[in-house]
């Protein structure tokens, strides 16, 4: 097969009037079902029901936002600062800005001064 690289095949548009070649059935002999045409469906006569198609995005998608209320009821926020994701974000932000969250403010200032002296 590897020796046949430049083989070209041409097919004539006109078919011979005789029996079909290669044992393929002719289109005149095939019925509509054999060709893959769908059978007609039975339809009942009556009134058509109108179904609204247009819907807003809020109706289609469920509300996935988290809301947390203050016990006093003065404000509502969608952020939980005690969640694992929020704590990880704070830690990443602290690393990005070279901030160490020490317990004592004086210790934090001293450590920042030491870092500045090293640079």
Q: How big is the CA angle at 99 (ends 105 and 87), to the nearest 5 degrees?
A: 95
The pLDDT of residue 16: 56
Supply the pLDDT for residue 91.
Answer: 87
User: If we measure between CA atoms, which residue out of 79, 81, 55, 83 comes closest to residue 67?
Assistant: 79
Average pLDDT across the chain, whole number: 69
Residue for token digits 């469920």? 62
CA 98 to chain centre: 37
**What's the pTM?**
0.24
Q: Could you report the per-residue pLDDT of 56-93, keeping only the tens digit for each? A: 777 777 777 777 666 776 666 677 777 888 888 888 88
d(CA 80, CA 66): 8
Identify whether the C-beta of residue 20 lies closer than 8 Å to the C-beta of residue 26: yes
pLDDT at 21 over 60: no
Question: What is the distance between the alpha carbons of residues 57 and 31, in angstroms, rounded to a whole number?
Answer: 48
CB 68 within 8 A of CB 86: no
pLDDT at 10: 74
pLDDT at 24: 54
DSSP letter at 26 equals P
Instruction: Report which of residues 116 and 19 the model is more confident about.
Output: 116
* pLDDT confidence tier of residue 95, bands split at 50, 70 and 90: confident
């Amino acid at each position: 097969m590897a020796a046949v690289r430049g083989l070209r095949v041409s097919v004539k548009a006109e078919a011979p009037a005789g029996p079909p070649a290669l044992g393929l059935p002719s289109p005149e002999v095939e019925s509509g079902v054999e060709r893959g045409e769908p059978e007609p469906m039975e339809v009942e006569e009556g009134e058509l029901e109108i179904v609204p198609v247009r819907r807003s995005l809020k109706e289609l998608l469920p509300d996935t936002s988290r809301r947390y209320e203050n016990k006093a009821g003065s404000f509502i926020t969608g952020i939980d600062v005690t969640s694992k994701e929020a704590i990880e974000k704070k830690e990443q932000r602290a690393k990005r800005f070279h901030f160490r969250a020490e317990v004592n403010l004086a210790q934090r200032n001293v450590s920042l001064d030491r870092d500045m002296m090293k640079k």
